[in-house]
Chain A
Amino acid sequence: MKLTSPHLLGIEPLTPAEITLILDTADGFTDIATREIKKVPTLRGKTVVNLFVEPSTRTRSSFELAEKRLSADALNFSTATSSLVKGETLLDTLRNLEAMKPDFIVIRHSEAGAPHFLAKHGRTSIVNAGDGAHEHPTQALLDALTIRRSKGRLAGLRVAIVGDILHSRVARSNVHLLTKMGADVVLCGPPTLLPRGVAALGAKATHRMQEAVEGADVVMMLRIQLERMRGGFFPTLREYAAFYGLDTPRLARAAPGAIVMHPGPINRGVEIMGEVADGSASVILDQVTNGIAVRMAVLYLLAGGNREPAPQER
């Protein structure tokens, strides 16, 4: 069993079997973080370029740590230091990077489709670390791993995703993944932040928080991206928090043993109250830990996709 594509561009093209393979493999990687020596020699000699054209600290750090724990060499290109700010096109950047013979390019870009562009024009394995409002596949995979490790399964669970659905690649990737794996997904947000037509993705939609959280096994809160909120999507942060913030009474409507997730960084007192973020239902920090295991699994599986048939003499 292997992944059919040499790239991870999104969750949408993956089959349920491929998602299960990635999650099972990630399970095998989780124990490495608990060891004295948190490093395995698996990708020794491989080079990974982390091309982060949009600011990101935690996803980039998570990828970098995953690469280092697999003994790959990581090279970081970020907006502030790269020639992209000097007007170089993405195609020229790709050609220059490929001239350095990397094995993987991990790309974060503000434009949807940028990773697909690299995959189409280059020869290197591309991993999408978030493209515009399109997809963020490794986030959905780490969320799924966290749910599976907590609930033992994905199928049949009721998952509420609450917040800024409109701008959220995390929500989109999660909807693809969770519906493929047989979970029921309810999306919730104010009308300005919940696009019409989400039913086409296989999810239910509601504007009422109470309806979304009622009986949910998983409550996934999305970050209000303050930098994107200049368009008058809601009157004030206080009003948003009053209608869509997760506090203890709202969480009490969820199913017994429900878990609370958040892709981070959290805005305390806006989409999630401190008492919930720090409470016993919160698995927010497990998500961070699992993120490294998932990214190790993705790189491990993609590295196995050697396109030349090699003799197997063992």
Chain B
Amino acid sequence: MQDASRVRVMDAASIDRSITRMAHEILERHKGLSGIGLVGVQTRGVPLARRLAAKLAAIEGAPPPVGVLDINLYRDDLSRIAEHPVLRRTEIPFAVDGATVILVDDVLYTGRTVRAALDALIDLGRPRAIELAVLVDRGHRELPVRADYVGKNLPTAPAETVDVCLEETDGRDEVLIAKAPGAGGGKEEAHA
């Protein structure tokens, strides 16, 4: 897979700077962290949410609570895919009712994952508001979804794939864009 057609568009330093900036944007908009909880979408949204919480804690003093959301049970393509994804745990350690929830994911693409995440979250309670933070927005929305906090806007062609690698899940920090003329595959499905 490590061929010349893969271009690195973010390295560890730029990922870190993007997360820092998103943390400042969150604080600027909310004037603090009261009533705010972060929820990472499995899998790579989870370490990103933890990092964002650590940045917020470094600036504000105390970290916001961080939850974990698995959206697989809410996907709209379950009857179409050959193999159901492995289900992971959903654990939200704060009351969703009345909270301002910031969903965190790695890549925003079609918007279908976010749609599923909204349904999953609303089944857990009635948040006061839900916002969305993503490391990469690669465009090509199929649903009316928009992110509130974006690490990097990355113009892509539909045939390309975007791979977010994080220390916690992949052993290194980088974002790669692959000019893959072949049919979609690899990790990209998870980034819907």
In the bound complex, what is the Cα–Cα distance between A41 and B89 (angstroms)? 16
Give A303 to B84 CA distance when docked, in angstroms: 8
A41 touches B119 (CB 8 A): yes
Question: 12 A-B contacts, Cβ less than 8 Å apart?
Answer: A25-B87, A39-B123, A41-B119, A45-B79, A304-B83, A305-B82, A305-B83, A306-B81, A310-B77, A312-B81, A313-B184, A314-B191
Smallest Cβ distance from A110 to chain B, in angstroms? 32
Contacts of A97 on B, CB cut-off 8 Å?
none
Query: Using Cβ atoms and an 8 Å threshold, which residues of chain A touch B110?
Result: 314
User: B78 and A42: CB pair below 8 A?
Assistant: yes
A-binding residues in B (CB < 8 A): 70, 73-74, 77-84, 86-91, 109-110, 112-113, 119-120, 123-125, 184-185, 189, 191-192
Residues of A within 8 Å of B87, CB to CB, are 24-25, 28-29, 297, 300
Contact of B78 among A36, A37, A303 (CB under 8 A): A303
Return chain A residues, CB-CB under 8 Å to B125. Answer: 36
- Secondary structure call for the B interface: loop
Complex contact B84–A37 (CB within 8 A):
no
Question: Contacts of A21 on B, CB cut-off 8 Å?
Answer: 86
- Known pairs A28-B70, A300-B87; A310 contacts B80 (CB<8 A): yes
Contact B82–A309 (Cβ < 8 Å):
yes
- Taking a contact as CB atoms under 8 Å apart, the answer to whether B78 and A304 are in contact is yes
How far does the alpha carbon of A36 sit from the alpha carbon of B81 in the complex, in Å?
29
**Residue from the list A2, A35, A297, A312 in contact with B184, Cβ < 8 A:** A312
A36 with B124, Cβ < 8 A, contacts A31-B90, A41-B74, A314-B110 known = yes
B86 to chain A, nearest CB (A): 6
A1 at the interface (CB under 8 A from B): yes
CB distance from B141 to the nearest CB of A (A): 12
Contacts of A276 in B (CB 8 A): none
Chain B nearest Cβ from A98, distance in angstroms: 19
Most buried by B among A31, A42, A300, A312: A312
Docked complex Cα distance between A1 and B110 (Å): 25
Given contacts A31-B89, A312-B189, A314-B110, whether A37 and B124 have CB atoms under 8 Å apart is yes
Most-contacted residue by chain A among B82, B91, B109, B125 (CB, 10 A)? B82
Q: Which residue of B lies closest to A308 (CB)?
A: B82
Q: Once bound together, how far apart are the Cα atoms of A84 and B87, in whole Å?
A: 38
Question: Is A28 within 8 A of B78, CB to CB?
Answer: no
| 8 Å CB contact of B192 from A27, A35, A314 | A314
Please pick, from B70, B74, B113, B123, the residue contacting A35 in the complex, using a CB distance under 8 A: B123
Question: Whole-angstrom distance between the alpha carbons of A51 and B2 in the complex?
Answer: 52
Judged by a CB distance under 8 angstroms, whether A183 is at the interface is no
Contacts of B192 in A (CB 8 A): 314
- Residue A40, interface by CB 8 Å: yes
3 A-B pairs with least C-beta separation? A304-B84, A28-B87, A314-B192
CB distance from B117 to the nearest CB of A (A): 13
In the complex, whether A301 has a CB less than 8 A from a CB of chain B is: yes
| Residue of B whose beta carbon sits closest to that of A307 | B82
B86 touches A1 (CB 8 A): yes
Task: Kindly report which residue of chain A lies nearest to residue B109, judged by CB atoms.
Answer: A314
Cα-based distance from A40 to B123 in the complex (angstroms): 8
**Residues of chain B with a CB closer than 8 A to A300's CB:** 73, 84, 87
Q: Can you name 18 extra interface pairs (CB under 8 A) apart from A2-B83, A37-B123?
A: A1-B83, A36-B124, A37-B124, A40-B73, A41-B73, A41-B119, A42-B73, A42-B74, A300-B84, A304-B82, A304-B83, A305-B82, A310-B77, A311-B80, A312-B82, A312-B184, A313-B184, A314-B192
